[in-house]
A and B are shown apart, each in its own frame.
Chain A
């Protein structure tokens, strides 16, 4: 059963983040921007647990958000799956053990997800405005996401560490 605890915790985090996003944070407008706690949670999960968790969590979170918002099913899933996978790979490779990794991940993911959402909605024929999405909304959203990166990352890290006994280092890798 132990192997189920980890996915359950990730699922719970993603579920709570999605519910909070669609009910609370999507309506909190600060300087014409809204924070994206789903992306922040996804970033934290992907950095802490890797690309497979990132991709899976992104897919599930996107599905939840689209379902709750009655939006086109799959759009947010596609974007967050790619974002989660990329952040996970970044965390597994160059970003590993680097203090700035969460901030870099959030900045890049926020920008790319925004561009991707704009592109997808445009392709689907939805009424979109590049000026509103990229010039008006993106800068404050980026700033808010960066502001919330540290608390969300710390919270997710804490939740994922719950009921997990620290074992110290379990691997030895050779330098050079």
Chain B
């Protein structure tokens, strides 16, 4: 008995005329014909896939496809041209809708990338600075009898009345109070406070800090201390009988007397004589120094730790 699942509804008297009631040609076709058509088409599709997949790019099917694409191309171009204004309008409105969130997202991205750039730049500068310090360590002018602890500066003086910086190394690194602090350029100052993993360094520009020094050329000795201007130094207590010339190098004297030793090793550069004066009434030379170290832009320092000190 033939299956007739369509016989469920009587369409006689239906108020709506069917648009194409006679068009169900496949309904009237036999099941064999229907299956044959579908089967043939599926088979042809599989054959096409197989041939297309197996043949080289210059094969016959590829050629036919290329020709077909060339035929379709004008239609595609035409449709594209017709649709372009609508697509542009859609794109414009869609862009408008997304512009705000996109803007916020891009701003966040710009901020993040800017921070990254700054971090990279800072790291590069720090790297260059530390390399310079390490270069100084390898020189013969590096004080003998001392190890070094390289450290970045993590805190700067909050006001111009304070001349201390904080470094990222402390007790655990072997640093103790009164350890001298240098950089590749010269003497920086002295450790005045030590915590577990950080320390405070008093700069040479602090009024409280005095360093015994000598003129590298004339061997005139004196005490280097804070000058009148910001980041200036003076060499005091230089006897009138001694000679001081402009441009002379001033270095630490590193004295040793009756079991007492200077806090600073000998020969660390402090500055260059920028001017000197002497009046009849003065007991000592008035010597101005230009410091070797730029105290305002210090990035890292080396703390000198005596080798013979137990840790």
Residues of A near any B CB (own CB < 8 A) = 6, 15, 19-20, 22-24, 27-28, 48-56, 58-59, 62, 64, 66-68, 70, 72-75, 77-78, 81-82, 85, 88, 92-94, 96-97, 120, 124, 157, 160-161, 164, 166-175
A51 to B36, CA, bound (A): 11
Instruction: Give, as a whole number of angstroms, the nearest-CB distance from A95 to chain B.
Output: 11
Is B278 among interface residues, defined by CB-CB distance under 8 A?
A: no
Q: How many residues of B contact A (CB 8 A)?
A: 50
Given A67-B65, A72-B52; A48-B37 close (CB under 8 Å): no
| A-B contact list, 15 entries, CB within 8 Å | A6-B23, A19-B72, A23-B79, A24-B83, A72-B52, A72-B53, A74-B52, A81-B42, A81-B45, A82-B38, A96-B6, A120-B49, A168-B14, A169-B12, A171-B21
Q: Is the CB of A56 within 8 A of B37?
A: yes
Q: Describe A's contact surface by its main secondary structure.
A: helix
Is B197 among interface residues, defined by CB-CB distance under 8 A?
A: no
What 1/0 mask marks residues of chain B from 48 to 91 whose CB sits below 8 Å from any chain A CB? 11101100000001000110110010011001100100010010
Say which residue of B17, B20, B49, B87 sits within 8 Å of A74 (CB atoms). Answer: B49
CB-based nearest A residue for B3: A93
Q: From B24-32, B155-163, B183-191, give the one contacting chain A.
A: B24-32
Given A157-B19, A164-B20; A73-B49 close (CB under 8 Å): yes
Query: Which 6 residue pairs are nearest across A and B when measured between Cβ atoms?
Result: A50-B26, A74-B48, A78-B45, A74-B49, A161-B19, A52-B26
Q: Is the CB of A50 within 8 A of B19?
A: no
Contacts of A167 in B (CB 8 A): 17, 21-22
Instruction: Give, as a whole number of angstroms, the nearest-CB distance from A6 to chain B.
Output: 6
Instruction: Give, as a whole number of angstroms, the nearest-CB distance from A99 to chain B.
Output: 12
Contacts of B72 in A (CB 8 A): 19, 64, 67-68
A64 to B69, CA, bound (A): 9
Given A28-B90, A67-B65; A73-B52 close (CB under 8 Å): yes
A19 to B227, CA, bound (A): 86
Contacts of A49 in B (CB 8 A): 20, 23-26
User: 12 extra interchain contacts, Cβ-Cβ under 8 A, other than A68-B76, A78-B46?
Assistant: A24-B79, A27-B87, A52-B25, A74-B49, A74-B52, A77-B48, A81-B42, A88-B26, A93-B6, A96-B6, A161-B19, A175-B8
Contacts of A94 in B (CB 8 A): 5
